[in-house]
């Protein structure tokens, strides 16, 4: 209690929110400090290990979340087990399908992940009361729709080689926001296994592995460890994306 009030007095912003990206680039940027304080009473930071299931397809969802660290994959499966990754979420993305009774996708931690969870009802009340928040979430939803459509081109019309290059390009440009955007090269850890990448690209893991080997042989990338990729020249990689 006492500390709570001191926090508010000190800065008007809850401790947990002070260094959170969601406040700058994510949905919390739409909230003033009073709303932030009110919301933070309901939120809970949770850490999940890679592989943890965060939400299941056709299961009721009882909370939304902001991704604070790590990568979350959204997947859908056919009855016979064929699987497709339909989205990847990076910090500070909002996680969850607003207003939906149940999730249309399975959400799984691709890497170790920190989430800032909010109970469904609490967020929906806040959205109803604050059009600016809904506007923010609308902007993200529109961006996700743009990305989904971009990816449909990749899935439907690109060759295996172009698909793998496109995936690497996506990761290189999304994963490390701290990297200098102008830098020619990038180094990063793949947040997905070969099998996951295959599920993202509509390929088999063998094909993914072969195409990675080919990109390495062609010196477009270096693979310094099984999950470690270095791109010396992003532009050369982009040329391979079709």
Partner DNA sequence: GAATGGCCTTGATCAGGATCAAAAGCCGCC
Partner DNA sequence: GGCGGCTTTTGATCCTGATCAAGGCCATTC
The Cβ of residue 148 has, within 10 Å, a number of other Cβ atoms equal to: 11
Binding to DNA (CB under 7 A) within 196-215 occurs at 202-210, 212-213
CB of 188 closer than 8 Å to CB of 234: no
Map tokens 């990297």 to a residue. Answer: 179
Selection from 188, 187, 204 nearest residue 196 by Cα: 204
Token pair recorded at residue 202: 């509509």
- Closer to a copy of itself by CB, 49 or 145: give it: 145
226 binds DNA (CB under 7 A): yes
Binder to a copy of itself among 1, 3, 58, 99 (CB under 8 A)?
99
Query: What are 85's strand-pairing partners?
Result: 75
What is the Cα–Cα distance from 169 to 167, expressed in whole angstroms?
5
Tell me which stretch binds DNA (CB under 7 A): 26-34, 107-115, 122-130, 225-233: 225-233
Q: How far is the CB of 58 from a copy of itself (least distance, A)?
A: 13
**Which of DNA, a copy of itself, none sits in contact with 149, Cβ below 5 to 8 A by type?**
a copy of itself
CB of 105 closer than 8 Å to CB of 86: yes
Tell me which stretch binds a copy of itself (CB under 8 A): 42-50, 60-68, 75-83, 208-216: 75-83
Which residues are near DNA by CB under 7 A? 159-161, 193-195, 202-210, 212-213, 223, 225-227
């Amino acid at each position: 209690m006492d500390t709570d009030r001191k926090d508010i007095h000190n800065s008007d912003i809850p401790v947990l929110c002070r260094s959170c990206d969601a406040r700058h680039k994510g949905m919390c940027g739409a909230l003033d400090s009073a709303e932030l304080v009110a919301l933070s009473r309901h939120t809970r930071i949770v850490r999940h290990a890679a592989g943890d299931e965060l939400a299941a397809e056709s299961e009721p969802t009882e909370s939304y979340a902001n991704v604070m660290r790590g990568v979350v994959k959204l997947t859908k499966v056919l009855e016979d087990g064929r699987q497709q990754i339909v989205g990847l979420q990076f910090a500070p993305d909002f996680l969850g399908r607003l207003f939906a009774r149940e999730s249309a996708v399975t959400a799984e931690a691709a890497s170790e992940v920190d989430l800032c969870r909010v109970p469904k009802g609490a967020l929906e009340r806040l959205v109803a009361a604050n059009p600016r928040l809904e506007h923010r979430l609308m902007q993200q939803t529109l961006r996700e729709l743009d990305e989904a459509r971009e990816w449909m081109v990749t899935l439907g019309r690109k060759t295996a080689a172009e698909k793998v290059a496109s995936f690497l390009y996506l990761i290189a440009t999304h994963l490390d926001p701290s990297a200098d955007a102008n830098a020619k090269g990038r180094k990063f850890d793949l947040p997905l296994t070969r099998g996951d990448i295959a599920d993202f690209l509509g390929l088999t893991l063998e094909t993914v592995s072969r195409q990675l080997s080919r990109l390495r042989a062609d010196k477009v990338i270096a693979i310094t460890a099984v999950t470690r990729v270095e791109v010396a020249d992003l532009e050369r990689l982009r040329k391979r994306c079709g």
